[in-house]
Amino acid sequence: MLTPDAVIAVIGSGTMGAGIAQVAASAGHAVWLYDIQPGAAKRAIDGIDTALSARVAKGKLDDASRQSTLARLHPAETLADLAQAELAIEAAAEQIDIKQAIFRDLAAVCGADTVFASNTSSISITAIASGISHPARVVGLHFFNPAPVMKLVEVVSGLETSPEIAERLCELALRWGKQPVRCHSTPGFIVNRVARPFYAEAWRALEEQVAPAAAIDAALRDGAGFPMGPLALTDLIGQDVNFAVTCSVFNAFWQERRFLPSLTQQELVLGKRLGKKTGQGVYRWPLEAKPEYQPQMSEEFAAKQVTQSGKTLELDGIVVAITSGMTATAMSAELKRPVVLRDRLAESALEVLAPSASVTPQQLAKVTHYFQRQGKQVLVINDYPGMLAWRTVAMLANEALDALQKGVAGEADIDTAMQLGVNYPQGPLAWGARLGWQNVLTLLENLQRHYGEERYRPTSLLRQRALLENQHEH
């Protein structure tokens, strides 16, 4: 079953369907592409030809490979043309009734052992399989856009999915040059669920006017190593698409507050400011927004006395510490000293600072000068608990632990999915361990105390890991 010469059917010839068909045909399979719109499958195959020809022109593919891949692609006139398929991959609209109808119709023409895979990104595999004969053969095979380029494939098991079939699809994905991760059917699977805080915390910072959009994005991109800031990324994805996924996950989790959609993002969607595709979203496109770094401070602001204990600095009586989820003002009231907090996860060329209300412009200039002397660019934001990068990564790690605790996927698969699916610099579980589970827990507890909201509630697995970490240290 599902040998290298198995016949593959792809239903739906949009961007994802065409991309999946290209991947299967490039791997040596005969592929039948079907679309409900007459002529759409043929146009999609022409589009694949254009994409492959561009690769030939760049010297990334030889013309013989292009021709043999195209020879394996066939447009199907009717669903009956797919009768020989050993694997049928559905990439139609994200509506459960459409997906169920496709598989019901396929079940009538294909053999009982044809594997039915859905490329859904948000619909329950259990629900899709529920109306179909032999539901054990229904599985999620979630590719990421663009399918020919992105390595990750989420192999999703519903309640009825045969473990053997899921295993065979993982082997197939590997043969196709993809990296499969196994998970159970749950809203958002791995990537679309665990990634929610990356966007949510940025929207919240924007709503609370902590800093301009370009500064929020710079803190996460240049300060934490994400390939792109979250707000620019939502503009690139499309505000309507990103908002719809957030709403879908929020509602699927019975309005769990961690997934609360943003009113600011909703306003952009209502105003048709959808991002790059409309020329205006959070930003105007083409994107030219730059954060306002602190100007270069002169030597007159050099601190006379500098002491360091652990990660805390003291510059002429000003306490400079890494955020632990308290505001700088709350910490200043506790210590009865001026406080400047740092949003520092690792070595980076950017230093993000938040001063307490008691810090004077001269004192802030001293701290700025100190970091500029070390060759850093300095970005100052308003006093904000947990700041930007630390708070986002803590929430990502907490969400990943929640998925792990609930058996959605294994630890290695969660981290692999986030690195390959959304290009995070580290998997959130490895990242949390490196930052220290106790540090992550303290930050979230301080956020929960500050806001009085369950949004920042630490998972019980986080508490357990922090306890174990403390025991190992003593």
Active site residues: 121, 142, 154, 192
- β-pairing verdict for 73-76 and 87-90: unpaired
Task: Give dist(CA 361, CA 355) in Å, integer.
Answer: 10
- Judge contact between 389 and 322, C-beta under 8 A: no
The CA–CA distances, whole Å, from 206 to 195, 232, 286, 435 equal 18, 13, 21, 25
Which long-range CB contacts under 8 A does 137-143 form with residues at least 24 apart? 137/112, 137/113, 137/162, 137/165, 138/103, 139/115, 139/165, 139/166, 139/169, 140/185, 140/189, 141/89, 141/117, 141/169, 141/173, 142/189, 143/16, 143/19, 143/20, 143/23, 143/119, 143/178
CA gap 232, 440 in Å, rounded: 26
Helices (H) and strands (E) counted in the chain, each on its own, are 19, 14
Other beta carbons within 10 Å of 430: 18
Distance separating alpha carbons of residues 421 and 18, to the nearest angstrom = 19
Element (H, E) at 307: strand 306-309
